[in-house]
Amino acid sequence: MGWQQIKQQCFIILYNSLLCLLLPVIAVKLYRVGAASLGKRVCEYLGYAPLLQHNASVYWLHAASVGEVRVAAPLMRALLTQWPDTHILLTTTTITGAHAAQTVCQR
């Protein structure tokens, strides 16, 4: 095992350790925001996305906020125009971004 691989393994161990230590803090923060406002999006905050079972290509776009959702909309239209069989998974960080994504995706 080379030095680069050792550094990568140490980073992965450090990252996972910090995640385990911070997970209770994240859970409390999500609880304070309110489960009703987050709904089923709690999993997105933890890095999980819906499982897509399609034979076509899937493009995953992540927009952190409303502004990024608006910027992603023309890109999504262009992708779907160029490749109509393509599926797009759009995730967001904020609740308002998620509402904007629903509006954009309904058009």
Residue-wise pLDDT tens digits, 55-85: 778 888 989 889 999 999 999 999 999 998 8
pLDDT for res 4:
86
pLDDT for res 106:
78
User: By C-alpha distance, which of 74, 78, 73, 30 is closest to 90?
Assistant: 73
Q: What is the DSSP letter of 1?
A: -
pTM, two decimals, is: 0.59
Residue-wise pLDDT tens digits, 8-55: 899 999 999 998 999 888 777 777 766 656 666 667 666 676 666 667
pLDDT for res 27:
76
